[in-house]
Amino acid sequence: MPDPDQGSVGPLDGIRVVELSRLIAAPSCAQILADFGADVVKVERSPAGDEVRQTGPGFVRDGEGRPTSLSSLFVACNRNKRSIALDFADEADLATLKALIARADVFIENFKPGGLARYGLDPESLSRAHPQLIHLSVTGFGSDSRLTDRPATDGVLQAISGFQSLNGEPDGTPQRSSVPVVDLCAGLYAAVAVLAALRSREVQGGLGQHCDVALLDSAMSLVASRAIDYRLTGVVPRRKGNALPDSAPCNVYRCRDGEMFVQAAWDQRFHDLCKAIGRADLASDPRFAVRSERVGHAEELDRELAEALQHFTLADLSEALAAAGIIFAPVNTIDRALESEPVRERGVEREMDDAHGRRVPVIASPIRLSRTPVRYRMAPPEPDEHREAILRDWLGAPAATRG
């Protein structure tokens, strides 16, 4: 396998992307394209840049130990990009932005629908001026929504979509995911949309198109199976904590030194589990002997298993469950996850050097390609770090847009 950092050409080498976006969803999409080798120019509002640069608590520190503009959230979504800071209210800066877009294959933005029209950067204007351009809009509720002016954060969409109602303990309040799953899901769909549009342009006459990816639609895709459950049964899905509605046992159980996720839904696997933990009697209990009865008596079964498993250490239980072929995993904290054997084996955690020689921790792309692997070329940038190089490489010379 080739070195992931050297000697390979990315599948999107030669593709130019202007990213006029902030926060998480659209930047995460642009990072995927950048990982594939696209030249992504991140246009940040002058002078402060993307707001998530200030979102900690983790920050890359300078030589004196002071926090820089590289926050943990910014680092997570912005590697392999170059940054230029522009003020749209300035005519020269707006001209620079338009000149960059004119030379781009892809334009990514996450403004409210209609918000860029006064600058001539709306989908209709750009399509007329640059019919080959692929224009991606990442919005909260869609480009044609009447809710255009309503704030649409990841948390808002977790709530509206019903996603939040499905998480948490049955007798507790709905629980928002602590990671921005809707934003990240939208970023993935957005990257797929851009790749599809690039392929379409290649084989269907060289024309670009407008891609509309909404956080609402992405959130609803996450709850698709539960929404279909409701339409088929008429029963509103409810929270079940760590359990599943159609699988038992399937839960998190406390051991002497931590928690363990265990799933043994099929009858034979359940019988194997019972034998492995010294409770063979549960397999012959009519409440638990077959899957349909276990699902109907899941709370009673969980109480029995909780009492049995609390006496095990994680190590002893892992050994017993592995030998029995049971689905299981310790519930790791983040520090333990990073040190766990499968994470270390896959090389998930990496470090990159930024332009100042600072070591920046990143989590690797989950996409592994055998011939054109992801290259970790550039650490996440400081605001406006690459102005001169971008103007030179894309526009020929800074003076081209500054007269």
CB atoms within 10 A of CB 371: 9
Nearest-angstrom CA–CA distance, 51 and 251 = 38
Task: With respect to residue 61, please indicate whether it lies within any of the assigned structural domains.
Answer: yes
Question: For residue 1, what pLDDT band results from cuts at 50, 70 and 90?
Answer: very low
Please report which confidence band the pLDDT of residue 48 belongs to, taking 50, 70 and 90 as the band edges.
Answer: confident
Q: Across residues 140-168, what is the average pLDDT?
A: 93
Question: Which of helix, strand or coil describes residue 328?
Answer: strand
Give yes or no: residues 276 and 311 share one domain.
Answer: yes
Domain match, 293 and 353 both: no
Among residues 210, 39, 222, 251, the alpha carbon closest in space to that of 128 is found at 210
Q: What is the pLDDT of residue 351?
A: 96
Residues 173, 44 within the same domain = yes
Question: Which tokens sit at 311?
Answer: 């006496």
Asked if residue 344 is part of any domain, the answer here is: no
CATH code assigned at 270? 3.30.1540.10
**Does pTM surpass 0.85?**
yes
Could you tell me the CATH number of the domain that includes residue 374?
Answer: 3.40.50.10540
The C-alpha atoms of residue 274 and residue 271 are separated, in whole angstroms, by: 5
**C-alpha distances out from residue 40 to 14, 30, 284, 390, Å:** 10, 7, 61, 10
Question: Does residue 294 share a domain with residue 261?
Answer: yes
User: What is the mean pLDDT of the segment spanning 53-67?
Assistant: 92
How far CA 304 is from CA of 278, 282, 321, 331, in Å, comes to 12, 8, 17, 20
Confidence of residue 9 (pLDDT cuts 50, 70, 90): confident
Q: Is residue 208 included in any domain, yes or no?
A: yes
Q: Are 141 and 216 in contact (CB under 8 A)?
A: yes
* pLDDT score of 3: 46
pLDDT of amino acid 66? 93
Looking up tokens 């860029």 gives: 116
Q: Which two tokens stand for residue 54?
A: 């200030």
Q: pLDDT band for position 403 (50/70/90)? A: very low
Rounded average pLDDT over 194-205? 97
Q: Which residues contact 371 (CB under 8 A, 6 or more apart)?
A: 2, 8
- For residues 29 and 177, membership in a common domain is answered with yes
Residues spanned by the domain of 161: 16-222+349-401
Q: How many Å apart are CA 372 and CA 318, to the nearest integer?
A: 37
- Decide which of 1 and 378 is more confident: 378
**What are the pLDDT digits (tens) for 313-345?**
999 999 999 999 999 999 999 999 999 999 999
Query: Same structural domain for residues 23 and 96?
Result: yes
What pLDDT does 47 receive? 83
Is 70 exceeded by the pLDDT of residue 159? yes
- Using 50, 70 and 90 to split pLDDT, how confident is the model at 244? confident
- 135 plus 52 within the same structural domain: yes
Q: Kindly tell me if the per-residue pLDDT of 5 is higher than 70.
A: no
Q: Which residues contact 79 (CB under 8 A, 6 or more apart)?
A: 31, 34, 35, 352, 362, 376, 378, 379, 380
- Position 229 in a domain: no
Q: What is the DSSP letter of 159?
A: H
Q: Is residue 140 part of a domain?
A: yes
Which helix (H) or strand (E) segment is 353 a member of?
strand 349-353
What are the structure tokens assigned to 254, written together?
A: 């406390």
Q: Is residue 285 included in any domain, yes or no?
A: yes
Which of 274, 303, 332 is the last residue in one of the domains?
A: 332
Give dist(CA 294, CA 270) in Å, integer.
10
Cβ–Cβ under 8 Å, residues 45 and 73: no
List the Cα angle 252/253/257 in 5-degree steps: 120
d(CA 325, CA 263): 11
Average pLDDT over residues 370-387: 96
Take residue 270 and report the two structure tokens written for it: 């359940």
Q: Indicate if the pLDDT at residue 103 is higher than 90.
A: yes
Rounded Cα distance, 136 and 104, in Å: 12
Check whether residue 76 and residue 200 sit in a common domain.
yes
Q: What is the pLDDT of residues 251-276, one digit of tens each?
A: 999 999 999 999 999 999 999 999 99
Among the candidates 298, 332, 366, a domain finishes at: 332
Q: Is 116 helix (H, G, I), strand (E, B) or coil?
A: coil
State the pLDDT confidence band at 56, using cuts at 50, 70 and 90: confident
Average pLDDT on 38-64 reads 93
Query: Which positions are catalytic?
Result: 183
DSSP assignment letter at 372 = S
Q: With 70 as the cut, is the pLDDT of residue 364 above it?
A: yes
Q: How confident is the model at residue 8 (pLDDT cuts 50, 70, 90)?
A: low
Residue 400 has pLDDT above 70, yes or no: no
Query: Average pLDDT, stretch 92-113?
Result: 97
Identify the CA nearest to 211 among candidates 294, 126, 276, 277. 126
Contact 51, 354 (CB under 8 A): no
Q: How many residues does the chain have?
A: 403
**In the chain, pLDDT over 70 holds for what percent of residues?**
96
Q: Is residue 303 part of a domain?
A: yes
164 and 71 in a common domain: yes
In this prediction, residues 199-224 reach a mean pLDDT of: 97
Is residue 202 located within the same domain as residue 64? yes
Q: pLDDT confidence of 148, banded at 50, 70, 90?
A: confident
What is the DSSP annotation of 57-84? S-EEE-TTS-EEEEEHHHHHH-TTEEEE
Is the bond preceding residue 170 a cis peptide, omega within 30 degrees? no
Quote the pLDDT of residue 137: 97
Helices 181-203 and 25-35: angle between axes, nearest 10 degrees: 50
Percent of the chain at pLDDT > 90 equals 91
Per-residue model confidence (pLDDT) at position 234: 97
* Tally of domains in the chain: 2
Residue 245 lies inside a defined structural domain of this protein: no
Higher pLDDT, 398 or 357: 357
Say what the pLDDT of residue 82 is: 98
Is there a single domain that holds both residue 307 and residue 168?
no
Statement: residue 373 has pLDDT above 90? yes
Are residues 313 and 366 located together in one domain of the fold? no
Rounded-to-integer distance, Cα 139 and Cα 110, Å: 6
